[in-house]
Amino acid sequence: MSAPDRKISQRRRWVQDTFAGTLRSMADTFISPATQRRTNFVLWYGLLITLVGIGTEFLYFLRPPQPIPHVLPWINLLVPAVGLICLFLGLVRAFGQSRVYGGKIWGSVVTALALLLFGGNVILFRNTRDVPKSAGAPQVGQRLPDFTLPDSSGQLISLSQLFWSTTAGRPQPKAVLLVFYRGYW
């Protein structure tokens, strides 16, 4: 073997030894697939379901057809409860198998916030049922006594004036819609 070939051969061996040594020393820093932490999807699903549950509160503004408005309060309780259960299961997984699953800190924060929102939802659900029935409110079809109130321009107008209008000199009956706002204050 000639001197230049020997030099090239030595250089190759040196590069191979150096590269192999570097890889061996870095082997401890690599995360092997067996020890790699997995994503805690139960926490993510719980967060998503809880957010959907909070979003169901806005379904009231869509004016859904019957019988959905009667079921909607129960949906508003059930969906966040399922999301909260998923969040609790994800926390159990994160704390019980912390080498495999992550999410201890952010899962705890999100679960605490979801628990507060769910508690507020339950309190609102119970308190809306505590509004007393109005004993003095007129019933459907009941004849109302005549009364006088100011209109939008400030002039006094009575209920009987609203019921009757004159067209071509003859009184014509009209329909009147009265809206009673039941307040609790």
Residue reference for tokens 């549950």:
53
Percent of the chain with pLDDT over 90: 16
Give the chain's mean pLDDT: 78
- The span from the CA of 44 to the CA of 39, in Å, is 9
The predicted model gives 99-111 an average pLDDT of: 88
Looking at per-residue pLDDT, the higher value among 137 and 118 belongs to: 118
The predicted model gives 18-43 an average pLDDT of: 63
Percent of the chain with pLDDT over 70: 77
* Residue 68: band (very low, low, confident or very high) from pLDDT cuts 50, 70, 90: confident
Model pLDDT, residue 84: 93
pLDDT tens across 75-101, in order? 888 999 999 999 999 999 989 988 888
Buried-state track 95-123, b at ≥16 Cβ within 10 A, e below 16: eeeeeebbbeeebeebbeebeebbeebee
* Residue 33: band (very low, low, confident or very high) from pLDDT cuts 50, 70, 90: low
Q: Answer yes or no: are the C-beta atoms of 90 and 43 closer than 8 Å.
A: yes
> Is 80 exceeded by the pLDDT of residue 183?
no
Model pLDDT, residue 65: 77
pTM: 0.53
